[in-house]
C-alpha cells in the first residue's frame, strides 16, 4: 500500500512543532539541544519524502548536508554546555544571559 506523500509532511510538521515548542518552553540546555535535533530531523524527513515524491536526489543530498551540519553544531554546543557546567553555573538557559547588552 502506497503511503501518500502528504502524510510524511504532516508527520514532519508535527515533529517540527514538537521541537519548536520544546525549544521555547524548556530551560535545560541538553533538552533544548534535543529539541533542535528534533526540528532538524523533521526537516530531513520532509526532504527525504519530497525527494522520493519528485524522483529526485536533490532533497536527499540536502538531508545529508543537514545531518553533517547538525553533527558539527552538536559538537560545539555540547562543548559549550560542558564548559558552562564546569564553571559551576546552573543548567538553566534563562540564567545564562551574560551576552545581554
Partner 1 sequence: MSTLAPLVLLTPLAGFLINALFGRMLPRRVSGWVGAGSIGLSLVFALAILVQVIGGEHMDQTYFTWWSSGLFDVPFNLYVDPLSTLMILVITVVGFLIHVYSIGYMAADRGISRFFAYMNLFVFAMLLLVLSGNFIWLVVGWAGVGLCSYLLIGFWYDRPAAVLAARKAFVMNVIGDVGMVFAAFVIFLNLNVLDFGSVFSRVHQLPKGGTVINVICLLLLVGAVAKSAQLPLHTWLPDAMEGPTPVSALIHAATMVTAGVYLVARMHLLYDWAPQAATVVAVIGGVTALFAATIGMTQVDIKRVLAYSTMSQIGYMFLAVGIGAYAAGMFHFMTHAFFKALLFMAAGNVVHAFHDDQDIRHMGQLRRGLPVTFWTFLIGTLSISGFPLLAGFFSKDEIIRAALSAAGIEFVMGLAALLTAGLTAFYMFRLFIIAFGWEWLRDDPRHLHEAPPIQTIPIIILAAGAALGGYFPVANFLEPVFGHAVDIGTGAFIALALLTLVAAGVGFALAYLVYARRPELAVAWRARLGPIATLVEHKYYIDELYDRVIVRPGFALARFLNNVFEPRVIDGTVNGVADFFLLESREWRLIQTGRVRSYGLWTLGGAIGIVGLIAWTLGYLPFRSG
Closest to partner 1 by CB, 16 vs 49, is 16
For the CB of residue 95, give the shortest distance to partner 1 in the complex, in Å.
9
Beta-carbon contacts of residue 53 (< 8 Å; ≥ 6 apart): 5
Helix (H) or strand (E) holding 7: helix 5-25
CA distance 43 to 88: 35
How many CB atoms are closer than 10 A to CB 21?
12
Closest to partner 1 by CB, 11 vs 84, is 84
**Judged by CB under 8 A, which of 15, 32, 45, 63 binds partner 1?**
32
Q: Binding residues for partner 1, how many (CB under 8 A)?
A: 14
Site string for partner 1, 8-27 (x = CB under 8 A): ------------x--xxx-x
DSSP string covering 16-69: HHHHHHHHHH---HHHHHHHHHHHHHHHHHHHHHHHHHHT-SHHHHHHHHHHHH
**Judged by CB under 8 A, which of 4, 71, 87, 100 binds partner 1?**
100
Closest to partner 1 by CB, 71 vs 99, is 99
Q: Which residues are near partner 1 by CB under 8 A? A: 20, 23-25, 27, 32, 93-94, 96-101
Amino acid at each position: 500500500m502506497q503511503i501518500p506523500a502528504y502524510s510524511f509532511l504532516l508527520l514532519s510538521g508535527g515533529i517540527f512543532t514538537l521541537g519548536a515548542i520544546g525549544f521555547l518552553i524548556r530551560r535545560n540546555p541538553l533538552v533544548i539541544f534535543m529539541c533542535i535535533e528534533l526540528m532538524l530531523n523533521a526537516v530531513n524527513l520532509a526532504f527525504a519524502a519530497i525527494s522520493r515524491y519528485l524522483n529526485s536526489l536533490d532533497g536527499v543530498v540536502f538531508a545529508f548536508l543537514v545531518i553533517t551540519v547538525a553533527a558539527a553544531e552538536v559538537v560545539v554546543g555540547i562543548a559549550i554546555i560542558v564548559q558552562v557546567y564546569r564553571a559551576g553555573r546552573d543548567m538553566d538557559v534563562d540564567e545564562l544571559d551574560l551576552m545581554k547588552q
